[in-house]
Amino acid sequence: MSASAPDLPADVLLDVRDLAVAYRNGRGEEVRIVDGVSFQVRRGEAFGLAGESGCGKTTTALALLGLLPTSLYRPTGEILLNAADGLVSIHKRTERGMQQVRWAKVSMVFQGAMNALDPVMRVSNQIGEAIRLHEPGIDRRGVEERIAELFGYVGIAAARSRQYPHEFSGGMRQRVMIALALACKPELVIGDEPTTALDVMMQAQILQLLEDLRRDLGLSLILITHDLSVLAETCDRVAIMYAGEIAEIGTVRDLYAKPEHPYTQRLLAAFPAVGGPRQLAPAIGGVPPDPADQPTGCRFAPRCHRVQDICAAQAPALRALDDERAARCHFAPWPTGSTT
Ligand SMILES: Nc1ncnc2c1ncn2[C@@H]1O[C@H](COP(=O)(O)OP(=O)(O)O)[C@@H](O)[C@H]1O
Ligand SMILES: [Mg+2]
C-alpha cells in the first residue's frame, strides 16, 4: 500500500470524488442513481447524509463498502480511504481486497438489524466470526474478551452475547449491530438509518451511544437519515442529497442557520428541532424525479417554491459559497432573512 496521496491532508479519512453509480435498465440504457457526488469525511468527524427516500443515500453507502454487485451496477469516480496503514482506493480493489477493508476499516450499521443478523446463530458466534476473519491467529479466550469489551461499549451485559437475535428487543438488537460493526476496530462506521425503526426514546439512546463511541474510540461516522433533526444533534457537517446529487453541503451550524438551497429550506421546515416550536410545515409538493428521466435544468425545479425561468433551462453547478459551504442553486446565496 502506498503512503498518503500528496493531495490528501492527514486529517481527511475519506475522500469521495465525483462518485457516480449507474445501472442498466430494461431498455439497455444506463441510469445514474448517484451522479457526481463528492465529499470528504475528516478523522473523528460525524458527517451526515440526508435527503428524501430514493435520492441515493444507501447506494452511496454501499459504494463506499464496495457492496454494489458489479453485475448490476457500474460505479465510477474515486473513493479514497486514508486508512492508518495506508491509502486504499475502493474502486480499484478486488472483492478479495475489499474483504480486508470491510469491517476492519469501514463497517456499516444497517436499518433493519434483523436482516443483518443471522437468526439461527448465537450473537457471540456472529461477532466471533467477524473477529476471526480479520485476526486468524486469535484464540477463543481472545475472542471472548473482545466480545465482552464490545458489549461493554454498547451497554449490554456480556452474558447476553450467547443469546439469539430474536431474544433482543429492537433497540437492543441495534446495539448488538453496533457491537458487530465495531468488532474489528474500524476507522469509519456508516449508519444507514440506524434509528429509523425505533421509537423516539430508543432513537435518542442509540444516537447518544454512537456519539459517545465516536468520541471515546476516535471513530469517524457517516450518519444517513431522512430526518434532519437527527443530524442536527449528532453531526459536524452534512450533505443534503436530491435526485442522486448533492444539493447542499456545509457545517450543521451554518446550514441550519441559513439553508441556501430551497430544498434544504423546505426540508428543515419539515423537521422542527426536537422540543422546538412545532408549526405546520409547508410540505414539499410532488415527488422526486424518476432517475431515468431527470429534468434538463435544476432537478429540483419542478417542486421548487422559488423557481425562476433559468431553473428549468439550465442545470446549476454545486458552487462553493465559502470554505465549508456549497449549494446547487442559481440564486445562492439568498439575501439574509429570505431563506424559508
Ligand atoms: N437495480 C435497480 N434498478 C432500478 N432502480 C434502482 C436499482 N437500484 C436502485 N434503484 C433506485 O435508485 C434510487 C436510489 O436508491 P437508494 O440509494 O436506496 O436511495 P435512498 O437510500 O436515499 O432511499 C431509487 O430511486 C431506487 O429505486
Ligand atoms: Mg436508503
Is the distance from CB of 262 to CB of 305 less than 8 angstroms?
Answer: yes
Is the distance from CB of 43 to CB of 218 less than 8 angstroms?
Answer: yes
Determine the average pLDDT of the residues in 55-83: 94
Ligand 1 within 6 A of CB of 33: yes
Is the distance from CB of 61 to CB of 222 less than 8 angstroms?
Answer: yes
The pLDDT score that the predictor gives to residue 1 is 46
Which residue minimizes the CA distance to atom 2 of ligand 1? 23
Question: What are the structural domain ranges in the chain?
Answer: 10-95+188-201+216-287+296-340
Going by C-beta distance under 8 Å and a sequence separation of 6 or more, which residues neighbour residue 121? 164
Please tell me the distance from the alpha carbon of residue 190 to that of residue 47, in angstroms, as a whole number. Answer: 9
Of residues 277 and 143, more confidence is placed in 143
Topology (CATH level 3) of domain 10-95+188-201+216-287+296-340: Rossmann fold (3.40.50)
Which residue minimizes the CA distance to atom 25 of ligand 1? 54
For residues 106, 111, 116, 122, the Cα torsion angle rounded to the nearest 10 degrees is: 100
Minimum-distance ligand 1 atom for the alpha carbon of 290 = 25
pLDDT digits (tens, 9 = 90+) for 73-98: 999 999 999 999 999 999 999 988 99
Determine the average pLDDT of the residues in 101-117: 83
Is the distance from CB of 185 to CB of 177 less than 8 angstroms?
Answer: no
How far, in Å, is the centroid of ligand 2 from the Cα of 58? 4
Ligand 1 within 6 A of CB of 23: yes
How far, in Å, is the centroid of ligand 2 from the Cα of 301? 23
Ligand 1 within 6 A of CB of 290: no
Determine the average pLDDT of the residues in 123-146: 94
Strands (E), the chain: 12-24, 30-42, 46-50, 73-83, 86-89, 106-109, 188-192, 220-225, 237-242, 245-251, 319-320, 326-327
Minimum-distance ligand 1 atom for the alpha carbon of 58 = 21
> Mutate which of 33, 52, 241 to test ligand 1's pocket (most atoms within 8 Å of Cβ)?
33
List the grid coordinates of 263.
430544498
Report yes or no on whether pTM surpasses 0.95.
no
Of residues 238 and 281, more confidence is placed in 238
Which residue minimizes the CA distance to atom 10 of ligand 1? 33
Ligand 1 within 6 A of CB of 59: yes
Residue 48: pLDDT over 90:
yes
> What letter does residue 4 receive in the DSSP assignment?
-
Ligand 1 within 6 A of CB of 291: yes
Taking the CA of 193 as reference, the closest ligand is: 2
Ligand 1 within 6 A of CB of 55: yes
Query: Which residues, in sequence order, are bridge partners of residue 75?
Result: 21
pLDDT digits (tens, 9 = 90+) for 298-326: 999 999 999 999 999 999 999 999 999 99
Query: 112 falls in which pLDDT band (50, 70, 90)?
Result: low
Ligand 1 within 6 A of CB of 58: yes
Q: Which of 45, 41, 33, 58 is nearest to 112 (CA)?
A: 58
